[in-house]
Amino acid sequence: MDTFMKTYWGVAVFAMMALFCGATNADNKAIEQALKEALPGVKPDSITPSAMAGLFEVVVGPKLFYVSEDGRYLFQGSMIDIKAREDLTEGKLANARISSLKNVGSNNMIAFKPESSKHLVYVFTDIDCGYCRKLHSEIDQYLTEGIEIRYLFFPRTGEGSDSYNKAVSVWCAEDRNAALTKAKRGDTIEKRQCENPVDRHLALGTQMGAAGTPMLVTEKGNILPGYVPAAQLAKILSQEAEK
């Protein structure tokens, strides 16, 4: 699944470049049509002028592209305001990540909530990942810090693997939170099948560039790769909130 999605997006980008090269007077509708042909069934979330004259920002889920106003060129990468020393792309990507996560919906995640919530973190997790298990073994510490954890599944070995099947079984359990805790301890859980969001989680994590787990996404849309202790995470989130 992981390799497939990366290949899919890679091919799609080249396909879009070829399509844009054929346009002469690109506007929003022309760009939408090019995207429609390159990515069937996918519609851009927004097409807006960028900070640089002659370039448009195209947001598709958690992805952002730059397209020239004549439709000939497509760019990927960061736009830096040298004078302000600011990465203009990362801020837009952060917003796109949060929008994508909200589209998934909290009802399609497994949440561990503190009595009094100060912060929210989305965690892409693999049940069999060592550091994912370490993070979850300290869940009470995160809750004490007022951090709500919302889990999305990212079985690194892909669809149909043992980790993937465990994720499905956890989701289909009568008590998902208890089943997740049990699975992360390495205990055997009952195998179950039902309608589940695991594929959607996996696809979104891939689109966001997840290279490993756990991958944390803050409530402002910033990515923290890897395990972060509760006290340190609380400090990072407080500093982020102040900005």
Q: What is the pLDDT of residues 60-72, one digit of tens each?
A: 788 888 887 766 6
Look-up of token digits 């594929």: 199
Task: State yes or no: pLDDT of 235 exceeds 80.
Answer: yes
Total residues found in the chain within this entry: 243
Instruction: Give residue 7's pLDDT band: very low, low, confident or very high (50, 70, 90).
Output: very low
Decide if 156 is catalytic: yes
The single-letter code of the amino acid at 53 is A
Rounded CA-CA distance 171/229 in Å is: 26
**CB-CB neighbours of 222 under 10 Å:** 17
Top mean-pLDDT range of 16-25, 69-78, 172-181: 172-181
Instruction: Give residue 112's pLDDT band: very low, low, confident or very high (50, 70, 90).
Output: very high
- Greater confidence, 46 or 173? 173
Which of these is catalytic: 97, 133, 150, 156? 156
Q: Which domains does the chain have, with CATH numbers?
A: 2-102 (3.10.450.70), 106-242 (3.40.30.10)
How large is the C-alpha radius of gyration of the chain? 20
Instruction: Give residue 94's pLDDT band: very low, low, confident or very high (50, 70, 90).
Output: very high
Task: State yes or no: pLDDT of 40 exceeds 70.
Answer: no
Q: What is the pLDDT of residues 150-166, one digit of tens each?
A: 999 999 999 999 999 99
Which of these is catalytic: 132, 133, 150, 172? 132
pLDDT score, position 23: 41
pLDDT score, position 42: 62
Look-up of token digits 């992981």: 2
Decide if 129 is catalytic: yes
Rounded CA-CA distance 72/54 in Å is: 11
Which of these is catalytic: 97, 128, 129, 172? 129
Q: What is the CA angle 206-212-213, rounded to 5? A: 105
Which of these is catalytic: 126, 128, 133, 172? 126
Sheet holding 119-125, edge to edge: 110-112, 147-153, 119-125, 215-218, 223-225
